[in-house]
Structure 1
């Protein structure tokens, strides 16, 4: 028999705690208080009465939980939910397996650290306590080891307390489904919210633009060791490689996207890409499709990728992991978190890892060190300050890939065409300071400063563009010796206000961004395309080419660039009706770029400076209609901009590149599975190229267009079965061009189609409880390697699989990547290179949590 639960709470005095109701008299309030002593949900649903008074009452009777504490007692543990002078009332309870679940239907979570609360092993006999957001309000879930716990509940004006005691084995019903908890509790494969699309905490179903979220669980289940590989789960996104394989770069809806966000801050610069984000620091990846200049300024119209990092927790834990795999891959890592003071106001998170690996490519090896500590101090329940630091140090062999030529399809994928001693070394130090303050339940201020300081040194032999000679089998090379530095500074401030005008609900965002980027490059290169003294035979490479002397270098000098941006944005999310939501916003940007150069090419000096200014307004308008609870139909219009740092021969500054998108879509939430179907049309104008008749000047050549359909599916079919998948068709082409950029040519790295499907299944009961398997297929269609189109990278299907075992506080996992050893090309680069994908690879991981 399940033990009874003692309920010591009383019904709340709603008349005393509720705010004055809009469009309601005092008599109305009294009647409603007697009719609805318990609030069913915090958000109006279509099944509710549709009267404005009722909706206003529901919205204003929510109690905000500002803090959660778990303390050990003599008999078990005590869970304390603190509020801001408002009383909570438990509304229902249920027992599922070894879990006691208590629902609080008049509450919402607003914890200083954000997100939800989890703590493992709070006391003997109880494996975990979780306080999370549910469809009805707030849910408290307590899981026992042998049986469900019992709980006695008491309430005061400022808190609700649950005194829990571990259950005994004989109290548990036989045959009841048991819940398995391994590590931190999260939303699994189907997160319900993301901040990238609106910079507010908005449910995905209320966003009139395609956005996909890759949660932490998917990254772990697929054994991701390079964060860019996780993006293969999202429709319309393909990863791009570069010579170093050390940076994040993607193609989204046909457009090259190198501006990556980290917690909303831009990374990288025009002179050098950002270092690849370490997977162990990422909580989830949010991919917003289409123009995002309305909130983030200068970005391509295809979309943005935002890496949301892991944050401190009051619940202490200590994770240790070790990963090993094919080609000498080794990576020890740790993830620690918890309070640093007795009052738990100062908390920390520490992620650290060291990675060392060889490669399937001859002579290629890499090392990477990641140290990422985060501190958060809570001055009060409504004010917090978070300091985050990330140190990334990377060293790897400079790898040119293979030349863009059909002959490369017949070369072995381990063929190396640089020199074994070539190197690419990079260091990035990033600092983020964020102040978060809630003036009250309706007004919130968030202000953050970010600084990213990067240095890159590259030394090696590069393949010349279109430098392959089929008669000799040789490809010309140049020697490069370059140093880059890029400093990104940004200050962002958001003010978020929630209010009503009559029965219409508003969430207003007003903010600004002030940013500066300083980039510097110095070089001392050598090339001689006619004599090709540095050429290498692609069929029989011979290494050991001498490095050209400094005196012989014929491309030397420096280039410095400074970019400044000031942007103001305003956004209003309006609930016109419970099932009709309007999003309208705009951003006005002022951009200024200054550059100085002192270069010498083959004895000819180029010395001078340039200065460019531009400004643009980027709007977005969207509408969401929800005919029934789980279905959202949306349409939106949005624009993007990127300044053009170029002038015509007549001295006119060329207008910024502008992107315009029209998108319609349907989003459905069926239990714990979400489905998103979208169709879009994007046009990008004011694209420039070098003026063939006036060297040193540019001309606008026309426009490119991208059209397509995308489908994304993610969620939990059952407690055992997870799924994430995608399907897309895309046509990205030059709609207005010239001889060098022919009309109707397809954009590079823009596959015409793609699909992915990944599933895991974990046994929940019996002797094999915790044992699971995963399997997936990833398809990428044909891609053009360059413009004009004359080399096509063929389509491919890659299969992956995994087997894992979760038990108590430890986990063992084995991932099989490219299970069928498919020979394929991962991507191309616009400098004349293509990069083969890796062969069958085995990656094993063991982790333990204390």
Structure 2
């Protein structure tokens, strides 16, 4: 920190401005000429005519660009190679801070394809972290942190690179009270991600996972200006939106043909959030396809969505952003992080956001959200960390079921037309508290313990659609209000160890988790509700106080207690042959009380959920895999008589090919799967507050995903999915006979998003993006009485990033395509997609 302050102080405000304006000055002075090596125009081609020009030329002629970083293992440690496009790096200075060897290089700048920062955790035995970062005033710092003592090293330089030969320090300082342990946040730039934690609960390369998993990294979220989950997961094959509960919560996405509200994780914990999630603190999203019950318990067989949140940083970081758009959209955010003490053992991070918008629907109805999420990490010792987390969100928005169906198509009325009333709303307030603890017994063995609790208050009051008289256009409605309070508690403990049995390497995971989820809620309704004509609406129906609603239709308490024991072994049989085996045993107790009639029901279930997979790599960048897995899901849904549905059970067979191309800059995955699920919960068409069971649903298909960098500055993330999902056994209910297709599941979906950022010259940092998102015709309800039409949505972006600031302009639905994103249920809840939307942002880092 002292070095940074001194350098900024030495250059001064005038010098900083000169450095920022220097590239433009050179371009004007040199006529955009380039030297014989095709690099930047020579600063000496034109004579300086002012002191400012002279200072700029002197400053820039000596700056050497670091264009690549390579790590090569050696017999004694590791070589850190800093590559340059042209010119030799100046002689660096070295120092030791705690367990870190610090190398600082003057008159240098980072221009890496993946961004202006490089991090690699545990690159060699005895080395915890290698970090290369830019400092103000054209300095580059390399920090090499040892596990128990600072490393030692030698420096070699030539015309094209600088090599740091690093040797780990001794373990003499392992037990020192003031030893430093670096916390790695997992943040990285670019579209390509090598590792994910969701599939195995360990940091496993994607190429070694025998199951389809896709990652939407922070860079994609930033480039697309993602605000809600639906915008993020459209980049992933086989994921489409489902029931959004009146457009007021992320709700039930459909993965591989299976809809569910219960498919979210937050840093590996079950996430029971009931509103629209805020993305201000999301580092990346991992989508694991297929059953994940072996690690996370009762889940859908289609897959899970895991939100990985941002963690505290060891270096000070301050950022703020303001987003503005049409339809009254405004969203300021802040992101602050850094150490709280001199030895950097106490780190913090604070994310906060505020959102308001009117939306494109009638009445300019106001949505508002407040969000704050502080995180504190205490590095108790060099082997022990404790992280405390808190998050608060309050979200208020219109409750809006959308449009209705007339005949076999959506009614031909304006997509902005509201069929409820202007005061329909839903409010959600949530408080989350938790901790994560890790202790490393050695380099190979560690124990983790984590706890999280979530408290949710939700309230809605709305005129909801019931049925349409298609001859007259008269829509009957129900005035209804739900008031619910939920509590969720979850505790996890697991042991992770790496060991060998002869030539075979093992990564063992053994754990136990416990959770308790409760719901106390009631529903009130009016005895009669005024209808509305969809062609000639007359608004202004009287909404009494909730306490004056005469009908108490639901008054209940539900509780689910779960304990699970799991074990997993990742076995490296050979360097190119990997086996994954695991199993989980769950014990679940469910209880429900109906306070209307005093009745109660309960069920106790247990289940074993296995998974086995194999990966074979005939050549290093290519992985062939196959896996079998099962899922178990006790039904939290109840039938109209108050009884729980029988547990849902699923099984999947999957085969796939995963490849890494272009020097590992591009990752592609092709998968084929077959899933069956029994006892599927579906919305009761007579009362959407309750559910009905299906006998069996089968989904099979092919998925393709690709993400990464094609050329320096050219990023891409794309997907395609073919999904064939239908009812194969009708069960006891006659409403859903065999052969019916699953609502909202399109046979074909595809997405493409690509950006290019200019890498050098006067326009360096200027980028462009284009996106295409296609969804095929799909049934809108489980009765298959109508289809939602296909659509192709086009998005575009232009942005400019320079030094510590970034401006961007995103256009969503560039061609103003009229489309329908999905249906909540039945024929009266079709959700129209957003029309032409423009969103601008300005972000600054300090």
Q: More displaced, 148-157 or 573-582?
A: 148-157
1:254 paired to 2:257: yes
User: What is the deviation of 1:153?
Assistant: 7.3
CA distance in 1, matches of 2:680, 2:844: 52
| CA-to-aligned-CA distance 1:228-282 (integer Å, 9 cap, x gap) | 31100000001233314333431100111322111111122xxxx6222211110
Q: Which secondary structure does the structure 1 equivalent of 2:232 belong to?
A: helix
1:709 paired to 2:702: yes
CA distance in 2, matches of 1:374, 1:103: 21
Contact 1:623/1:634 (8 A) holds in 2: yes
CA distance in 2, matches of 1:356, 1:501: 58
CA distance in 1, matches of 2:347, 2:297: 33
**1:470 aligned residue:** 470
Q: Give the alignment partner of residue 248 of structure 2, picking from 245, 248, 253.
A: 245
Q: Give the alignment partner of residue 125 of structure 1, picking from 135, 138, 152.
A: 138
| CA-to-aligned-CA distance 1:336-362 (integer Å, 9 cap, x gap) | 110000010000111001001010011
CA distance in 2, matches of 1:106, 1:300: 34
1:335 paired to 2:335: yes
User: What is the deviation of 1:431?
Assistant: 1.1
Q: Which secondary structure does the structure 2 equivalent of 1:245 belong to?
A: coil
**2:175 aligned residue:** none
Contact 1:64/1:107 (8 A) holds in 2: no
Superposition pairs of residues 331-370 of structure 1, within 5 angstroms: 331-363=331-363, 364-370=365-371
CA distance in 2, matches of 1:128, 1:313: 16
**1:234 aligned residue:** 236
Contact 1:351/1:373 (8 A) holds in 2: yes
User: What is the deviation of 1:151?
Assistant: 8.4
Contact 2:524/2:550 (8 A) holds in 1: yes
Contact 2:72/2:78 (8 A) holds in 1: no
1:838 paired to 2:840: no
Uncovered stretches (5+) of structure 2, i.e. residues with no partner: 1-60, 81-90, 173-184
Q: Give the alignment partner of residue 613 of structure 1, picking from 604, 623, 632.
A: 604
Superposition pairs of residues 621-632 of structure 1, within 5 angstroms: 621-632=612-623
Q: Could you state the TM-score of these two structures normalised by the residue count of structure 1? A: 0.80
User: What is the deviation of 1:284?
Assistant: 0.4
**2:199 aligned residue:** 197
- Seen in structure 2, the aligned counterparts of structure 1 residues 759 and 575 have a Cα distance that, compared at 3 Å, is same
Q: Give the alignment partner of residue 725 of structure 1, picking from 718, 729, 733.
A: 718
Contact 2:507/2:570 (8 A) holds in 1: yes
CA distance in 2, matches of 1:106, 1:392: 36
1:383 paired to 2:390: no
| CA-to-aligned-CA distance 1:791-813 (integer Å, 9 cap, x gap) | 10111000000000011110000
- Seen in structure 2, the aligned counterparts of structure 1 residues 244 and 739 have a Cα distance that, compared at 3 Å, is same
Contact 1:40/1:106 (8 A) holds in 2: no
User: What is the deviation of 1:573?
Assistant: 0.2
**2:483 aligned residue:** 483
- Seen in structure 2, the aligned counterparts of structure 1 residues 421 and 443 have a Cα distance that, compared at 3 Å, is same
User: What is the deviation of 1:686?
Assistant: 3.0
- Seen in structure 2, the aligned counterparts of structure 1 residues 109 and 148 have a Cα distance that, compared at 3 Å, is farther
Contact 2:767/2:798 (8 A) holds in 1: yes
Contact 2:280/2:351 (8 A) holds in 1: yes
1:505 paired to 2:505: yes
User: What is the deviation of 1:482?
Assistant: 1.9
**2:23 aligned residue:** none
User: What is the deviation of 1:293?
Assistant: 0.5
Q: Which secondary structure does the structure 1 equivalent of 2:711 belong to?
A: coil
| CA-to-aligned-CA distance 1:127-174 (integer Å, 9 cap, x gap) | 6658799xxxx9x9x9xxxx99978878673499xxxxxxxxxxxxxx
Q: Give the alignment partner of residue 680 of structure 1, picking from 641, 651, 673.
A: 673
Contact 1:97/1:148 (8 A) holds in 2: no
**1:49 aligned residue:** none
User: What is the deviation of 1:227?
Assistant: 2.8
Q: Give the alignment partner of residue 108 of structure 1, picking from 116, 120, 124.
A: 124
Q: Which secondary structure does the structure 1 equivalent of 2:362 belong to?
A: coil
- Seen in structure 2, the aligned counterparts of structure 1 residues 647 and 564 have a Cα distance that, compared at 3 Å, is same
- Seen in structure 2, the aligned counterparts of structure 1 residues 275 and 77 have a Cα distance that, compared at 3 Å, is farther
CA distance in 2, matches of 1:117, 1:39: 12
1:734 paired to 2:727: yes
CA distance in 1, matches of 2:162, 2:78: 25
1:264 paired to 2:268: yes
CA distance in 2, matches of 1:149, 1:469: 76
1:807 paired to 2:802: yes
- Seen in structure 2, the aligned counterparts of structure 1 residues 650 and 711 have a Cα distance that, compared at 3 Å, is closer
Contact 1:247/1:276 (8 A) holds in 2: yes
Contact 2:390/2:432 (8 A) holds in 1: yes
User: What is the deviation of 1:108?
Assistant: 3.3
User: What is the deviation of 1:411?
Assistant: 1.4
Q: Give the alignment partner of residue 206 of structure 1, picking from 205, 208, 227.
A: 208
Contact 1:257/1:304 (8 A) holds in 2: no
CA distance in 1, matches of 2:793, 2:762: 33
User: What is the deviation of 1:481?
Assistant: 1.9
- Seen in structure 2, the aligned counterparts of structure 1 residues 97 and 274 have a Cα distance that, compared at 3 Å, is closer
**1:566 aligned residue:** 563
Contact 2:797/2:811 (8 A) holds in 1: yes
Contact 2:117/2:133 (8 A) holds in 1: no
1:589 paired to 2:580: no
User: What is the deviation of 1:63?
Assistant: 8.4
Contact 1:83/1:159 (8 A) holds in 2: no
Contact 1:64/1:108 (8 A) holds in 2: no
**2:660 aligned residue:** 669
- Seen in structure 2, the aligned counterparts of structure 1 residues 79 and 351 have a Cα distance that, compared at 3 Å, is farther
Q: Which secondary structure does the structure 1 equivalent of 2:618 belong to?
A: coil
Superposition pairs of residues 348-497 of structure 1, within 5 angstroms: 348-363=348-363, 364-405=365-406, 406=408, 408-464=410-466, 467-497=467-497
Uncovered stretches (5+) of structure 1, i.e. residues with no partner: 6-37, 43-57, 66-74, 161-182, 600-605
CA distance in 2, matches of 1:127, 1:223: 30
| CA-to-aligned-CA distance 1:776-828 (integer Å, 9 cap, x gap) | 10001112111211110111000000000011110000001000100000111
Q: Could you state the TM-score of these two structures normalised by the residue count of structure 2? A: 0.80
